Structure 1
Amino acid sequence: MTSILQILLLILDIAQWIILAHIIMSWLINFQVLNLRQPLVAQIWDGLSRLLEPIYSRVRSVLPNLGGIDLAPLVVLLGVYAIRIVLINNAAAFY
């Protein structure tokens, strides 16, 4: 059962890094450090967006409209951290 806990924590770690990469990449694109006309950048951005957009859209439907500020990635990242904390605090159930 310990291996199940470790696999779940690994999945949450991977999700955390994917969300952070998407956030940083969006900043770099908005500040014109990265250009979407470059094929590699466009492919990575498209892949990350396709992976995360279904999750973000569900969170955006719950959040109020704040104009140009998108808090969906922050809420999802906080959710990943919260799930991680719950799993670690209940690790005794996996033994």
Structure 2
Amino acid sequence: MSITHDEDILGGEPRVDGTRVGVRHVATRAIESGLSPAHVADQLDISLSEVYEALSYYYAHIEEMRELERANEDAFEQVRESSLKPKEPVQ
């Protein structure tokens, strides 16, 4: 299988071996954006079989994928809350 995990790449998220293309990235493009697997393969410069392997992994490990998405959303929210905000306009 060409799906691998490595803590030093993408924070350990599952990805296509030999690339920085994450399983969630492939799934987002193919499922949420409605792009064809062939189009996703072309855009991400991976093979069509790797797209299908990533999608297969995504569906076989759906709870893991949902947990990764929740963690990503939580991290994004923390960054947003701690980022500098523009000053209130003086009235």
Q: Which has the higher contact order (CA 8 A, sep 6+)?
A: 1
Greater fraction helix: 1
TM-score band by shorter chain is 0.3 to 0.5
TM-score normalised per structure 2: 0.36
TM-score normalised per structure 1: 0.35
Greater fraction strand: 2
